[in-house]
Amino acid sequence: MSSRRPDDRAASALRFTTELVAWVATPWALAGHSWLLAALSVLILIGLPTLFSTPGDKAHVIIAVPGRVTILLVLLQLAAAVVFSWLAWPSWAAVPVTLLAAATLVTERRRWRWLVSANRRAD
């Protein structure tokens, strides 16, 4: 398998869009329960992927982690976008979010294969 990261501009765009939705929908849904939970959700959803990344996947790595951890962080974002969009918004808004997350899952496959390859370990 190639050691170069696959070209995934479409996947990156879908992934980032889904992350944006998660960053909005999660605190929106949690704000009615607790402003602290809402604020913590944003810190977690933005902070974890900022701190932890797989070498070669991002230009700047603060804390190196194996590719599987990066995949889990993406799955966290996707799950948050879907679950909290359904909790915060009407179905006409949540359905497109669910479809967006599904499309992201499909387009992420090449990157995820690359992330779990032997060369994507945290050093």
Q: Under a CB-based contact definition with an 8 Å cutoff, are residues 57 and 112 in contact?
A: no
**Residue 1's pLDDT is what?**
47
- Domain presence at residue 119: no
- Helix (H/G/I), strand (E/B), else coil: 5: coil
- Domain presence at residue 3: no
How confident is the model over 2-27, as pLDDT tens digits?
567 777 799 999 999 999 999 999 99
Looking at the 3D structure of the chain, how many domains does it have? 1
The H or E element spanning position 20 is helix 9-31
- Domain presence at residue 34: yes
- Domain presence at residue 103: yes
- Domain presence at residue 79: yes
- For residue 1, give both structure tokens: 């398998």
| Residue 102 domain boundaries | 9-114
- Domain presence at residue 121: no
Q: Per the confidence metrics, is the pTM higher than 0.75?
A: yes
- Domain presence at residue 122: no
How confident is the model over 17-59, as pLDDT tens digits?
999 999 999 999 999 999 999 999 999 999 999 999 999 888 8
